[in-house]
Structure 1
């Protein structure tokens, strides 16, 4: 294994937002396990845990990382520690960083990150993501060090609780590309981009997902019905750009600002006064995203908004706003380039709609095939 490791780079990352408000918001005696694909080789790891949207402290009773049994005959969990302790408490509204731990990783390895919560735990900080590399499991009981979780006490989950980012001590040439957005990015295309990088030999880039379903650039909800739609851009972006080794960010955000307002006579939480103009969205991206990314020295790539013809709140005015905003995203000198997702998935005969087999069925979210097309359209210059 090379000895020229010289810097920390995020090799996996997720956003942290408000979880969906269900009848039960607490857990006890719970194990969470998340399989993580390591894109880089390295010899140390550190883990970011977030309780950003929690209102109570959360104590991680035990935490471990291990080479997954599928790629290692010897399942040997290594404790993740906090100031030398095997448990750590995340204060309400804050994030914590684990100790650095010695752990040899080869690019392509799958790691199991397992967390155990012994006491009553407010499960208020997490984000749902999907894709061929995303998801995890939860079990009732303490199985954090077990090679296999018991079938009768275990279920799959797409909610990632508390685990926010994993950094690896790796080679100088490696870097991170951040994908920032809403449900379109919380779903599959960042995973397909990771697989494309592995397939095509772009071995020096990690794809870090910072996405929350339902989020808007300009506003957020204050009711439990839509709490999981998350924090607004002004709050999210400075926090989520805390990414070690980041070089560039793709921003694909704004469609929820356009499609959500329906008037208080239809939904008291979605007044017409929330409806933005294209200029509102442009000014929001400039002031909230571009200015902060430039301060961090990041290259910034815009991502165009996808077709919405047929979506349940579709009307011509909404699409006029979307197309005007897209035109700015394609041409504005504010950006280092544009990733034209809209062009990659829209129909040839009717560009206001998805191409054949590219619509998931709700006329807003792409199909798996379309998510693959989105990953394929990312310019190579961002991956080299």
Structure 2
């Protein structure tokens, strides 16, 4: 009888970027725990760890994956592993039986001083984790008095599962809109509607732009520019397609050096600049990998603190290209799903989080609902 599980597919994933630069950038004697929802059944796991934006090596003292009892995650047969600065490492393959729908806990312990430069913040009903002071990586529960929740995902980048040939990954690439809730709602939609062969892999960083990146600590967490991010973040086992929803920060960030020395007007793109960036940085690379590419339109910004008519003209011209360009395999029209009927420049009633840039929870659900079924089957 042939082996049922023959194909490696990413079942969970996030981007790795520069963490927010605070007063303290090191941790010691720290446990991180992240719940991972397994969308596929399989019999082996492997784990990608990233120190892409770190400037010092990071040593994982112990790592475990647990459903009931903890199973060690090993690196070349060793129970600890070091991630060099600026690099990513892959664990050994771990024999581990998984049933679709189960939640696994991945726990990491860092004994020595650890530079916490590599990670990303995400939100959503399936996202987040916990950290504890002390070594509780093998413990079934974490102590309440030493534990807090966190939405920062440090070092753990992707989880692959050895699964059936029919299963595949769909990559969602973008900025804070995608780092927030709609990919989680899309995962929940897939489970609810029986799209059981697709994993939603999020590659998103808040504040990131297509064409620029910042070199100051104030905006370091806005992350790497698209030219740097995309080739790294498309390293996704079993990926079939990518949705690209990116570019709004290129439009809304510049304010002039007299207002903010790090945001000159020279950073302001034209619609053609954004179009050429997506063509050359994203579409061409995705095609080399054999991926289908779907565009995601940019959401309304009417009322945002830097809104003006010129910015919206650029957004709408870019959106028109995203909807009609023959280079794409299709368009996910997020803008149409959340904009108002009377004022299409603004969010529909109840769909604005309050800052006139990020959607509400209801709007994120609407974004998930508008993804075409052809991407999920």
Q: TM-score, normalised by structure 1?
A: 0.97
Match status 1:10 vs 2:10: yes
1:244-293 C-alpha deviation (Å, 9 max, x unpaired) = 00000000000000000000000000000000000000000000000000
1:2–1:363 Cα change, 3 Å:
farther
Find the counterpart in structure 2 of residue 304 from structure 1. Answer: 297
Residue 210 of structure 1: how far off its partner (Å): 0.1
In the alignment, the residues of structure 2 paired with residue 2 and residue 136 of structure 1 have an alpha-carbon distance, to the nearest angstrom, of 38
In the alignment, the residues of structure 1 paired with residue 189 and residue 229 of structure 2 have an alpha-carbon distance, to the nearest angstrom, of 28
1:176-211 C-alpha deviation (Å, 9 max, x unpaired) = 000000000000000000000000000000000000
In the alignment, the residues of structure 2 paired with residue 220 and residue 80 of structure 1 have an alpha-carbon distance, to the nearest angstrom, of 35
In the alignment, the residues of structure 1 paired with residue 28 and residue 11 of structure 2 have an alpha-carbon distance, to the nearest angstrom, of 30
Residue 298 of structure 1: how far off its partner (Å): 0.2
- Give the number of equivalent residue pairs: 374
In the alignment, the residues of structure 1 paired with residue 362 and residue 76 of structure 2 have an alpha-carbon distance, to the nearest angstrom, of 45
3-state SS, counterpart of residue 321 of structure 1: helix
In the alignment, the residues of structure 1 paired with residue 173 and residue 341 of structure 2 have an alpha-carbon distance, to the nearest angstrom, of 27
The equivalent position to 2:314 in structure 1, one of 312, 317, 321, is: 321
The equivalent position to 1:293 in structure 2, one of 281, 286, 293, is: 286
In the alignment, the residues of structure 2 paired with residue 287 and residue 49 of structure 1 have an alpha-carbon distance, to the nearest angstrom, of 28
In the alignment, the residues of structure 2 paired with residue 200 and residue 3 of structure 1 have an alpha-carbon distance, to the nearest angstrom, of 28
Residue 366 of structure 1: how far off its partner (Å): 0.0
The equivalent position to 2:172 in structure 1, one of 158, 179, 185, is: 179
In the TM superposition, what are the counterparts of 1:174-323 in structure 2 within 5 Å?
A: 174-323=167-316
Residue 344 of structure 1: how far off its partner (Å): 0.1
In the alignment, the residues of structure 2 paired with residue 160 and residue 95 of structure 1 have an alpha-carbon distance, to the nearest angstrom, of 15
Residue 108 of structure 1: how far off its partner (Å): 0.1
1:143-164 C-alpha deviation (Å, 9 max, x unpaired) = 0000000000000000000000
In the alignment, the residues of structure 2 paired with residue 16 and residue 306 of structure 1 have an alpha-carbon distance, to the nearest angstrom, of 24
In the alignment, the residues of structure 2 paired with residue 149 and residue 167 of structure 1 have an alpha-carbon distance, to the nearest angstrom, of 25
In the alignment, the residues of structure 2 paired with residue 53 and residue 144 of structure 1 have an alpha-carbon distance, to the nearest angstrom, of 25
In the alignment, the residues of structure 1 paired with residue 119 and residue 290 of structure 2 have an alpha-carbon distance, to the nearest angstrom, of 28
Residue 28 of structure 1: how far off its partner (Å): 0.1
In the alignment, the residues of structure 2 paired with residue 357 and residue 223 of structure 1 have an alpha-carbon distance, to the nearest angstrom, of 36
Residue 3 of structure 1: how far off its partner (Å): 4.5
In the alignment, the residues of structure 2 paired with residue 268 and residue 130 of structure 1 have an alpha-carbon distance, to the nearest angstrom, of 30
The equivalent position to 2:136 in structure 1, one of 115, 132, 143, is: 143
In the alignment, the residues of structure 2 paired with residue 241 and residue 360 of structure 1 have an alpha-carbon distance, to the nearest angstrom, of 30
Residue 2 of structure 1: how far off its partner (Å): 9.8
In the alignment, the residues of structure 1 paired with residue 154 and residue 94 of structure 2 have an alpha-carbon distance, to the nearest angstrom, of 21
1:130–1:2 Cα change, 3 Å:
farther
3-state SS, counterpart of residue 5 of structure 1: coil
Find the counterpart in structure 1 of residue 22 from structure 2. Answer: 22
In the alignment, the residues of structure 1 paired with residue 327 and residue 20 of structure 2 have an alpha-carbon distance, to the nearest angstrom, of 35
Residue 216 of structure 1: how far off its partner (Å): 0.1
In the alignment, the residues of structure 1 paired with residue 96 and residue 55 of structure 2 have an alpha-carbon distance, to the nearest angstrom, of 33
1:2–1:226 Cα change, 3 Å:
farther
Q: CA RMSD in A?
A: 0.9
Residue 237 of structure 1: how far off its partner (Å): 0.1
In the alignment, the residues of structure 2 paired with residue 7 and residue 377 of structure 1 have an alpha-carbon distance, to the nearest angstrom, of 29
3-state SS, counterpart of residue 6 of structure 2: strand
In the alignment, the residues of structure 2 paired with residue 244 and residue 380 of structure 1 have an alpha-carbon distance, to the nearest angstrom, of 21
3-state SS, counterpart of residue 78 of structure 1: strand
In the alignment, the residues of structure 1 paired with residue 228 and residue 103 of structure 2 have an alpha-carbon distance, to the nearest angstrom, of 32
In the alignment, the residues of structure 1 paired with residue 20 and residue 197 of structure 2 have an alpha-carbon distance, to the nearest angstrom, of 35
1:271-326 C-alpha deviation (Å, 9 max, x unpaired) = 00000000000000000000000000000000000000000000000000000000
Extract unaligned runs of 5+ from structure 2: none
In the alignment, the residues of structure 1 paired with residue 199 and residue 153 of structure 2 have an alpha-carbon distance, to the nearest angstrom, of 19
